Amino acid sequence: MEIVILADAAAVSAYAARCVANQIRRKPRTVLGLATGSTPAGLYGELIRLHRENGLDFSQVTTFNLDEYLGIPRDHPQSYHQVIRQAFLDHVNVQPGRVHIPDGMAKDVDAECRRYEDAIRAAGGIDIQILGMGKTGHIGFNEPGSSLGSRTRLKELTPPTIHDNSRFFPSEADVPRYSITMGVGTIMEARRCLMLVLGAHKADTLARAIEGPVTAMVTASMLQLHPLATIVIDEAASERLELREHYRWVFEHKPSWQQE
Ligand code: F6R
């Protein structure tokens, strides 16, 4: 795991965007895993800027969203279909046929989950998976107690996540209770994971994820076992890390031949 501690959200977004842009320049047919939520908003803003100002080309890129709420139609303003379009996809030249998001209105949820896994496999697997981390330590909607080997499936949201996500809905009662989410095992098969974490309110959970034991109680901790995971965080999120100064030193002395 590489831990990159930067001053603030703007620096985190710019660094993460460079990682994604370098990947796309190296491999134009990149398969990109997308997260929604507030954390990657700045990263998407920066990718849009690189597309407009530097010609970063998404025409051959394929995208897979991590998750979708179950039971809300795709034109609902808070469906992840809408959220990712508005935050990112509508502003770059990703081809609509290359965009994949679980269908939250699927009649046969198991079949939809199998279809999603098959589509990821058929695309050649995910090259770089963007992740945020919930306050419960979840990646995707893999809440505490999720199997660390899980695949795309239906998952219940826990009360803290329902509470956190209620900021996007008229009230807590309007937040869907279920989602379709890539499993931890699905995420672990991405060739690179790029997790962004911002803010002091996530500092305790982040310390558990990075420096605690690998546990289903904090599914982000599974990234400790990933061969190429980069965790990009701001100063506030780094506050509880025991090895904070060491991570800083390692990053500052990173050899120039190592990829961003
Ligand atoms: C979103 C997702 C979630 C979020 C996490 C953090 O697609 O899979 O795991 O990344 O809940 O959300 P924010 O960034 O809003 O704090």
Instruction: Give the model confidence (pLDDT) of 149-190 as tens digits.
Output: 999 999 999 999 999 999 999 999 999 999 999 999 999 999
| Residues contacting residue 9 through CB under 8 Å, at least 6 positions apart | 42, 198, 234
Number of H helices, E strands in the chain: 8, 10
Q: Does the C-beta of 137 come closer than 6 Å to ligand 1? A: no
Query: Which tens digit of pLDDT belongs to each residue from 135-147?
Result: 999 999 999 999 9
Distance CA 148, CA 201 (A): 24
Do 185 and 148 contact (CB within 8 A), yes or no? yes
What is the 121 CA–ligand 1 centroid distance (Å)?
A: 24
Dump pLDDT digits (tens) for 23-64: 999 999 999 999 999 999 999 999 999 999 999 999 999 999
**pLDDT value of residue 58:** 98
Q: What percent of the chain has pLDDT over 90?
A: 98
User: Looking at ligand 1, which residue's alpha carbon is closest to its atom 2?
Assistant: 140
What dihedral do alpha carbons 40, 99, 125, 147 form, nearest 10°? Answer: 60
Ligand 1 atom nearest to CA at 199: 16
Ligand 1: residue whose CA is nearest its atom 11: 134
Phi and psi dihedrals of 155, rounded to 5?
-140, 135
Task: Look up the pTM and report it.
Answer: 0.97
Separation CA 115–CA 108 (nearest Å): 11
Tokens representing 179? 């989602």
> Which pLDDT belongs to residue 256?
86
- How far is Cα 121 from Cα 151, in angstroms, rounded to an integer? 12
Distance 206 CA to ligand 1 centre (A): 14
